[in-house]
Structure 1
Amino acid sequence: MEEILKSLGITGKQSGVSTGKHWLPGGGAEITSVSPVDGKAIATIRGASREDYDAVVVTAHEAFKTWRQWPAPRRGEIVRQIGEALRKHKHDLGRLVSYEMGKSLQEGFGEVQEMIDICDFAVGLSRQLHGLTMHSERPGHRMYEQWHPLGITGIISAFNFPVAVWSWNSMLAWVCGNVCIWKPSEKTPVTALVCQRIVETVFAANEVPEGVCNLVVGGRETGEWLAADPRVPLISATGSTRMGKEVAATVGARLGKSILELGGNNAIIISEHADLDMALIGAVFGAVGTAGQRCTSTRRLIIHEKVYDAFIARLVKAYSQLRIGNPLDENNHVGPLIDKDAVNAYLKSIAQISAQGGKFLVEGGVLEGPGYETGCYVRPCIAEVQNHFAIVQHETFAPILYVMKYQTLKEGIAFQNDVPQGLSSAIMTLNLREAEEFLSAAGSDCGIANVNIGTSGAEIGGAFGGEKETGGGRESGSDAWKAYMRRQTNTINYSTKLPLAQGIKFDL
């Protein structure tokens, strides 16, 4: 890993504040990134002081005045080159993502691939930022709408996807004509530094104005500066529901805009008509992938009573075959939790399950011994519960899977919907009527609803996000780009008269 870090330009103590051309000294608190894989310090980052932050915002604001006038296809060409640079660094960056965050190596590579994919999407988008034309009720008039960039996009990202979610936002924001200020998770700042340097190289080669791509590493206070800053019209924040509510209140109080991607409590309904082989793969990967630390992780299995016992038997057997260990070893399925705080939350949830009447079908616990010295490796567990249990209504970022029975599809959908969160959902069924009912207005109330695939993961082409306490924002594909722009309605009078709308007369 030391050779990889050196190849990526990370050695010793680093500044965590950049305007895309210059790295400021970093006068804030120091943050040391420690890998949950082996407990070793990766690097120490000097965070942003308030003075550093203000300097970055001023530079970004000035850069926007120039960047917004670059033709969108030209901005798209810059993003295309970023995608090429990411392809070049995919192996090393993917390993670093795995090492710093703790997800499996294949998931680390997959995260970098998501970055490459969103670059490709954004390049095409740069030639499709279209509006509409409308017929005017007044003769000799034409109406249309167009979209303009907002200004500075503030991006607050989470540790579980330390680079992909930043790219979802930044690549779209850039082709739309915005500039970006990225506040990465203080738990995974090293991957952010590497991404910043990759982008800076591309920007320098294309004479992109300083301040289009900015980085401010810091803790909670740094995120609060962004959320409260009226100079930052859009905040995109990924994290817990608690954090999102605070961001929404702060941004809303200044009438700013926000994109919120928050908690998930995702369920798979397994029908009596399901292909149980497919269902097993989707359920296990959804529950234990990234050690249960995805916002789309499968938290609940709602299983039809006719197949419940058979499926549980297969599920328990599959869990007994899971290999837990160093995520850089491709033979392992599950890596560590991010840190000891996450482990404590996992243990607290296990205690609450027992206290509230849950029955463990696969026991959990913290692993000890050679290879597990960090204390961050835990056993994925399965608990038989009732959907109304308080702990089941709560999102725990850990590999804890809740299972329960249902009798009718209506009951199963009701269980699926009866939680505060509304991100991802799925049904496993070969019955067309069941699939269509699940996708209907009376079906899943989540932003993502799948048939015969799991809850975890998403493709770039679709808009990503959820409802209820998940926040309601959308990122990535479809028309999510509109959130990064302001709509303007235009009316042009090419006649020799000035008729008023609604037939109003005003004679002088």
Structure 2
Amino acid sequence: MSARDQAALKSVPAAPATVAEEARAILSRLGVPDQVFAPAGRPATSPITGETIVHIRETTPEEAKAAIGRADAAFKAWRKLPAPKRGEFVRLIGEELRAAKDDLGRLVTLEAGKVTSEGLGEVQEMIDICDFAVGLSRQLYGLTIATERADHRMMETWHPLGVCGVISAFNFPVAVWSWNAALAFVCGDSVVWKPSEKTLLTALATQAIVERAAKRFGGVPEGLSEVLLGGREIGEILVEDHRVPVLSATGSTAMGRQVGPKLAARFARAILELGGNNAAIVAPSADLDLALRGIAFAAMGTAGQRCTTLRRLFVHDSVYDQLVPRLKKVYSGVKIGDPRAEGVLVGPLIDKSAFDGMERALDEARAAGGIVHGGGRYTDGACAEGYYARPALVEMPEQTGPVLRETFAPILYVMRYTDFDQVLEQHNAVGAGLSSSIFTLDMREAESFISVAGSDCGIANVNIGPSGAEIGGAFGGEKETGGGREAGSDSWKAYMRRATNTINYGKTLPLAQGVKFDVDA
């Protein structure tokens, strides 16, 4: 071998021996500074093996308040920049994400346990929302409104709101931040992000990417994008600080019940994205092959850890015995394991608490007369080190007990139905109202499902599952899901304040509604 070949061989890094080594190599390539690591800090672990990757130095309460102060000062400078210029900054973030997609997507897999395609897909979602926001930066429009007064013009204008707080969950560790941050930046707001304490590494990597974009842009005020690392105490500081006029919080309904009143008490704007006990209906006319694929992904994708995961399935009695045995076969054969491995579709649950919650729900289902297919811990090969679970399909005699609440794990409760109106009532008879779907080729059923008298969810789909939303539409739900909307459509309005303006270009002063108030001038 030539000296040149030997030198080239030495330049190729050896394959990492552990998840921790692979993750640390990615953090280094993405430019995460060593200062954030501390031997006595919070352990950042991987659900793939349970091993600790690094220890993270958490943000102190004093540092959190200082970061919010920097963000407030940054907002006051950033809001003066024309919106298309702000869009250029977001365009550069999108470019940096494209360059870092493989690394950041892999880090999502290592830290959150998502299979490879889902980790990469989450970063693609970040790229997509950046593209959307760049176009939006030239479309932050108001209305011209008809006025009853002669020689007057009435219109509305939209202005930046202030510091936007973001509290995100582990299951979409970076995409949810991007839904908020990309819009907030083009709207003229600064962003302070408190990621889940279970996924701090992906947040640090994202911040490093944003800082590279800021360096390329030049002139980004210090504090425009801040990250707070820690647990509940740090989140509460963000919730309670009057300098944060809008806060997006993603998590459980229980979390929302705590956060919402605190925001309301100081008249802050809340964008709440909470629980989702999502259902699908399989009608007599359904394309069962299509339904089978849609159900499988919606119920088992991300190991059941999506807020839009399919958790309740109503199957018409006439097709139940055709569809459900096929579903059982899919469940028994789905590949579980290390999410980095080829062909694996179901990776680990995030931690022991998630697995224990699944076990409790299955025990309750059995006690309520449910027949459980699957479930239990999966320990084949290297999976013994993490909390891997076999997806569970549970045939229930009725919608009761654990079916009425969300368990953040791969459990699908299946029930028969015969009457369409009655199944719609059952569909809507839960607290959450996030996402829903129907599989039918009957136009009347499809239109009824998405009508005013149909699904009461924020997302209602026909012939696709309830999960896998695109960024172009507004994402969010009703009832105990919180009512917040993020991502596409006109969700941008939540990050801005509206002003109604009336201009008198005449020489008289007519009052609205014919009011007379004449005084000697």
TM-score range with shorter-chain normalisation? Answer: over 0.9
Q: 1:29 to 1:482 in 2, by over 3 A?
A: farther
Instruction: Say if 2:40 and 2:55, in contact at 8 Å, map to a contact too.
Output: no
Q: 1:39 to 1:13 in 2, by over 3 A?
A: farther
Cα distance in 2 for residues equivalent to 1:185 and 1:218:
8
Instruction: Say if 2:332 and 2:374, in contact at 8 Å, map to a contact too.
Output: no
Query: What's the secondary structure of 1:165's corresponding residue?
Result: helix
Show the counterpart of 1:421.
432
Instruction: Say if 1:13 and 1:43, in contact at 8 Å, map to a contact too.
Output: no
Residue 441 of structure 1 is aligned with which of 449, 452, 458?
A: 452
Cα deviation digits, residues 146-188 of structure 1 (max 9, x gap): 1111100000000000000000000000000000000000000
Instruction: Say if 1:12 and 1:43, in contact at 8 Å, map to a contact too.
Output: no
Cα distance in 1 for residues equivalent to 2:388 and 2:35:
28
**Aligned-residue offset at 1:76:** 0.4
Counterpart amino acid of residue 268 in structure 1 = A
Cα distance in 2 for residues equivalent to 1:75 and 1:329:
40
User: In the alignment, is residue 171 of structure 1 matched against residue 182 of structure 2?
Assistant: yes
Instruction: Say if 2:32 and 2:208, in contact at 8 Å, map to a contact too.
Output: no
Higher fraction of helix: 2
In the TM superposition, 1:89-488 aligns within 5 A as 89-206=100-217, 207-360=219-372, 362-488=373-499
Show the counterpart of 1:14.
36
Cα distance in 1 for residues equivalent to 2:325 and 2:91:
48
Counterpart amino acid of residue 180 in structure 2 = N
Instruction: Say if 1:238 and 1:260, in contact at 8 Å, map to a contact too.
Output: yes
Cα distance in 2 for residues equivalent to 1:379 and 1:472:
33
Q: 1:317 to 1:369 in 2, by over 3 A?
A: closer
**Aligned-residue offset at 1:386:** 4.2
Cα deviation digits, residues 409-449 of structure 1 (max 9, x gap): 11221121111110000000111111001111111000000
Query: What's the secondary structure of 2:31's corresponding residue?
Result: coil
Counterpart amino acid of residue 230 in structure 1 = H
Moved more, 119-128 or 38-47: 38-47
Instruction: Say if 1:186 and 1:219, in contact at 8 Å, map to a contact too.
Output: yes
Gaps of 5+ in 1: 16-25
Counterpart amino acid of residue 56 in structure 1 = A
Cα distance in 2 for residues equivalent to 1:501 and 1:47:
57
Cα deviation digits, residues 354-390 of structure 1 (max 9, x gap): 1222111x13101224211224101101111144312
In the TM superposition, 1:44-123 aligns within 5 A as 44-123=55-134
Cα distance in 2 for residues equivalent to 1:31 and 1:448:
37
**Aligned-residue offset at 1:29:** 8.4
Cα distance in 1 for residues equivalent to 2:516 and 2:29:
73
Cα deviation digits, residues 114-165 of structure 1 (max 9, x gap): 0000000000000000000012211111100011111000000000000000
Moved more, 261-270 or 350-359: 350-359
Q: 1:500 to 1:29 in 2, by over 3 A?
A: farther
**Aligned-residue offset at 1:12:** 6.3
Q: 1:372 to 1:11 in 2, by over 3 A?
A: farther
Counterpart amino acid of residue 9 in structure 1 = G
Instruction: Say if 2:279 and 2:312, in contact at 8 Å, map to a contact too.
Output: yes
Show the counterpart of 1:22.
none
Query: What's the secondary structure of 2:298's corresponding residue?
Result: helix
Cα distance in 1 for residues equivalent to 2:40 and 2:240:
20
Instruction: Say if 1:98 and 1:327, in contact at 8 Å, map to a contact too.
Output: yes
Counterpart amino acid of residue 69 in structure 1 = K
Cα distance in 2 for residues equivalent to 1:394 and 1:13:
42
User: In the alignment, is residue 32 of structure 1 matched against residue 43 of structure 2?
Assistant: yes
**Aligned-residue offset at 1:9:** 2.9
Cα deviation digits, residues 42-93 of structure 1 (max 9, x gap): 2211111111011111111111111001000000011011101100000111
Instruction: Say if 1:366 and 1:375, in contact at 8 Å, map to a contact too.
Output: no
**Aligned-residue offset at 1:5:** 2.9
**Aligned-residue offset at 1:396:** 0.3
Cα deviation digits, residues 308-345 of structure 1 (max 9, x gap): 01101100111121010000113101000001111111
Gaps of 5+ in 2: 1-21
Cα distance in 2 for residues equivalent to 1:29 and 1:385:
48
Cα distance in 2 for residues equivalent to 1:333 and 1:136:
59
Instruction: Say if 1:426 and 1:454, in contact at 8 Å, map to a contact too.
Output: yes
Cα distance in 2 for residues equivalent to 1:53 and 1:4:
27
Cα deviation digits, residues 256-280 of structure 1 (max 9, x gap): 1100010001111001100000000
**Aligned-residue offset at 1:13:** 6.4
Instruction: Say if 2:337 and 2:346, in contact at 8 Å, map to a contact too.
Output: yes
Counterpart amino acid of residue 3 in structure 1 = A
Aligned-residue identity in percent = 57
Cα distance in 2 for residues equivalent to 1:60 and 1:14:
20
**Aligned-residue offset at 1:457:** 1.1
Q: What is the TM-score of this pair, normalised by structure 2?
A: 0.93
Residue 502 of structure 2 is aligned with which of 491, 494, 498?
A: 491
Instruction: Say if 1:35 and 1:101, in contact at 8 Å, map to a contact too.
Output: yes
Query: What's the secondary structure of 1:289's corresponding residue?
Result: helix
Show the counterpart of 1:41.
52
Cα distance in 2 for residues equivalent to 1:403 and 1:217:
40
Q: What is the TM-score of this pair, normalised by structure 1?
A: 0.96
Cα deviation digits, residues 190-209 of structure 1 (max 9, x gap): 00000000001111222211
